[in-house]
Chain A
């Protein structure tokens, strides 16, 4: 029996208000008796920590970096959506809701998405009150821009550093609560285990990354805001420390993992330059508004771009999609670039890149017009690649960017483990099979500022919770498990480095569970991952000791979890015998290579339950998705 998603009754527009009223309240004098653990300090974690502390709860906040301000939300460039309709161009809460559901290819929950659109406006108000320096018009009003092909201008931004400014806003609120003594900060800590007592989430085991000490912390509720799992691919636009461990450890303790195969691959990233590459850098996709994507028509043509005459170039997006050309959606652009490279037509040193050429745009509009639009991006490109995109075409290649899948949560953002809440990218709830641009920041802050403070309170007020201390046997047991695991990693003493295994796992997933998938490849990948996992535990080498700052050990633990999680992703992709959003199974596509959904059989959330060991198939659960307010349609760009 699938757990209830707890979606409130009544009309869509009234659900959240009604729910807010129905949730029990904690007496103000009692709030300080409740302790809440928040793991992660990105937009969701920092905003939730601050907001809960403001309400009077005692909050313990953990982060992996040396300061909460460094979480990877900081790297988001483009902006944050809200349904303010300041430009008077026809936006509304309903339109933002509809665009998000449709953009997600109808694989998200209506009620959650509607709530997201509703609270989006409060987020902008809150950030401005904190002093976030959003871009302004000359009259002093907030500026908006259109982003990611949206038909309305609903995106608020702070130069190309919107994520940074929003995170610093949430961080400042968090620092204020820390100064008031309501939040205790635990930086340089990594959560290694979730602790359950009496069937409820009651604490965590965290490793102090400086001393190596395993610390146990008890609380009345645990909130995970630990981000996405894109680094399972080794190369992604995620920060180096981003990992799945906290979420995966919770999965192993009974939290269902939903739609793990939904991963977003962004088409315009700076290509891989060599085997030692550690991460990928995103370039704003606005570049495709003026750049033309092409490859040499003949495979293996190694001439420099200027020596390839027009007739021997293949503008493959313009050729295959005459009406949308270079502006086809992210997933289509990405898949086609990979296809060209697989055919041997890729360019650059590695052959894993396509050109994005501004020559025609510069000829048409003049260099200064292009400079005004894209100057900072061109500069960034030149800094990294040492090539001048005004003179020679840019090279781009797709890269893993965001993960829509995550721990399953109900309308209250509570997982299948009572007392364990999951916020932001770590949960699965709002983006379906594909996320729209400028929606990740919106969701992280919605969850942290405006949803969790209500729903966590409702849980605490409505649940009798006995007092639990870290002397409880469940804590001792969880700590012993974490210690044993660390010991095992150090004890293998093999010959291959952690990164070497990670790179191999990444290339398996990229090849078989990346932009397009097929059943034979997925089945093969599953075997390969199992085999790689076995080799990891026989041949990995982790230098150093457990009781010290040991970055190799940190990475080893994360990669060990990725090696189990990667198989779960592949299983999910195999189980979903349709294509939708970013999940393209080659057997299910329209004539234009667009994802062909199967709403009859797959209009559901796939939620996986750990079966006790990674070598046993996880148990599949289905949450049917019911659409009462939107009509399911097929995306098309004819």
Chain B
């Protein structure tokens, strides 16, 4: 590869949930274009550590784009400028020598700031707890091939199930809505026969939990779809809306 990059980073530093945060400026020198964005942060952190300063806290784990642990707003875009890419899979060759890069945490009312780029996304788990499952215990289930499922349906369910729960949809939405996240799960299970018995209850409960947790409503901004690293389509939001409306009108689970 060509030579290395020298970049100016402006990174959000915040000591804790109650502390006041600010952008701090760092120089990232000798950055190989083959490094991932997180490896670039590793380099900056190693240098800070050797200088006796506190490194930048950021969440990450698998570093292959599947665990959903990493994420930051890079130059105003969740997970940075590349389409369909998590931050850990964003490579520095997409930046140019001398660039200034602004790195901020996910910001949303339902996500509490913890430290630097680390935020609390447990609200997403709580949405799942409201009904993002099929109520089946271990054991006592029929043979796997008992119910045929058309290949196309299984594929469509898989498209939705591919959500990694990173929260980029929330971070990029002007309303900080978790609609795409919620829709992905509702849609995945609504498409499959196993999920049908609870489909109405699930749609109502998950949407109402999302509202309770402080996520905003969906106003079709489509930012979520544009920034989703797994490119989950907003047609799943349309399916959620259908399920929700259907449940609201016809289901015995509807609210009085």
Contacts and interface: CB of A to CB of B under 8 A. Distances in A.
Contacts of B211: none
**Size category, B interface:** 35 or more
B151 A137 contact: yes
A72 B62 contact: yes
Contacts of B118: 549
Nearest to B150: A140
Interface stretch (B157-165, B232-240, B248-256): B157-165
A133 B161 contact: yes
Interface string B78-94: 00000001000101010
A497 B42 CA distance: 12
Q: With a 10 A CB-CB cut-off, give which of B61, B154, B158 has the most chain A CB atoms.
A: B61
B23 interface: no
Interface in B191-214: 192, 194-195
B125 A499 contact: no
Interface string B38-50: 1100110010111
B169 to A, nearest CB: 15
Interface stretch (A123-131, A318-326, A471-479): A123-131
Contacts of B32: 273-274, 276
A583 B30 CA distance: 39
Contacts of A385: 34
B95 interface: no
A15 interface: no
B63 A278 contact: yes
Contact of B34 (A134, A158, A274, A549): A274
Contact of B165 (A67, A122, A386): A67
A544 B54 contact: yes
Contacts of B62: 70, 72, 74-75, 239-240
B219 interface: no
B148 A140 contact: yes
A161 B66 contact: yes
A133 B134 contact: no
Interface stretch (A173-181, A435-443, A480-488, A611-619): A173-181
A455 interface: no
Interface of B: 1, 16, 32-36, 38-39, 42-43, 46, 48-50, 52-55, 57, 59-64, 66-69, 85, 89, 91, 93, 114-115, 118, 120-122, 124-125, 128-130, 132-139, 141-145, 147-151, 154-155, 157-158, 161-162, 164-165, 188-189, 192, 194-195
Interface of A: 47, 50-51, 54, 65-72, 74-75, 84, 86, 122, 124-131, 133-142, 158-159, 161, 164-165, 168, 171-173, 175-176, 178-179, 185, 187, 210, 239-241, 273-274, 276-279, 281, 349, 383-386, 449-450, 453, 495, 497, 499-500, 541, 543-544, 548-549, 551-552
10 contacts: A68-B125, A136-B150, A139-B148, A173-B136, A273-B32, A278-B39, A349-B1, A386-B93, A495-B50, A543-B55
